[in-house]
């Protein structure tokens, strides 16, 4: 399977795993050691190729994703579910299943920093705050990775998901069909 975008990953092992079943170009951040030179390289690459950020589903991965998003606000994001990326007590893209990686690539999202699709009061009315199970189901259903309540609110707005879309999901029992 050919991927036209350049995928940003944390390390060499992530690249090896992706290249074992995909025809893909990657840029490695060097993990949390992401430096200005690598950020500049990613930015230059984004001028001619679309970028997909696929970092590990953990806190350092989120920090790397956030740094790249500041430099390239309209890059694409692929989120591998954490439960599908654990092997031998390690969490990461290199530990993820092939199916989990393909699902993440099929459900890529692009954040739009200039929109507000859901207000804070609508968000509160959906009983998400203090309801970790519901929050995790919403993250999973809309393929937004994982984070706290404020991160969910921000990501819902960044991808343009409305209160009505969330309410429809909750009304259907909160499970993917």
> According to the model, what pLDDT value does residue 175 have?
61
Residues 116-170 have pLDDT tens digits of: 899 999 999 998 999 999 999 999 999 998 888 999 999 999 889 999 999 999 9
Residues with Cβ within 8 Å of residue 100, at least 6 apart in sequence: 80, 81, 84, 85
Residue 79, classed as helix, strand or coil, is: coil
20-28's contacts with Cβ under 8 Å and 24+ in sequence apart are 21/98, 25/49
Residues 54-90 have pLDDT tens digits of: 999 999 999 999 999 999 988 999 999 989 999 989 9
* Alpha-carbon distances, residue 63 vs 70, 147, 148 (angstroms): 11, 11, 14
Residues 91-115 have pLDDT tens digits of: 999 999 999 999 999 999 988 877 7
> According to the model, what pLDDT value does residue 48 have?
96
Q: Please, are residues 49 and 6 in contact by the beta-carbon 8 Å criterion?
A: yes
Average pLDDT, the chain: 92
Domain residue extents for the chain: 1-110, 115-177
Give φ, ψ of 53 to 5 degrees: -90, 120
Among 147, 154, 64, 50, which Cα is nearest to 111's? 154
For the structural domain made of 1-110, what CATH number should be given?
Answer: 3.40.1360.10
Check whether 177 has a pLDDT greater than 60. no
Q: Please, are residues 96 and 71 in contact by the beta-carbon 8 Å criterion?
A: no
- Pairing relationship of beta strands 86-87 and 90-91 according to DSSP bridges: antiparallel
> According to the model, what pLDDT value does residue 115 have?
73
pLDDT (average), residues 18-27: 97
């Amino acid at each position: 399977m050919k991927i036209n975008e350049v995928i940003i990953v944390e390390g060499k092992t992530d690249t090896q795993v992706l290249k074992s079943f995909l025809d893909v170009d990657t840029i490695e951040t060097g993990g949390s050691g992401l430096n200005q030179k690598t950020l500049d390289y990613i930015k230059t690459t984004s001028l001619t190729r679309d970028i997909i950020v696929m970092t590990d589903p953990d806190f350092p991965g989120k920090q790397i994703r956030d740094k790249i998003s500041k430099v390239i606000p309209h890059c694409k994001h692929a989120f591998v579910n954490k439960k599908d990326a654990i092997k031998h007590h390690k969490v990461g893209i290199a530990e993820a299943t092939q199916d989990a990686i393909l699902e993440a690539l099929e459900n890529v999202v692009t954040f739009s920093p200039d929109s507000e699709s859901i207000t804070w009061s609508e968000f509160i009315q959906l009983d998400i705050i203090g309801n970790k199970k519901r929050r995790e189901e919403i993250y999973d259903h809309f393929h937004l990775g994982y984070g706290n309540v404020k991160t969910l609110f921000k990501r819902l707005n960044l991808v343009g998901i409305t209160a009505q879309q969330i309410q429809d999901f909750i009304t259907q029992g909160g499970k993917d069909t």
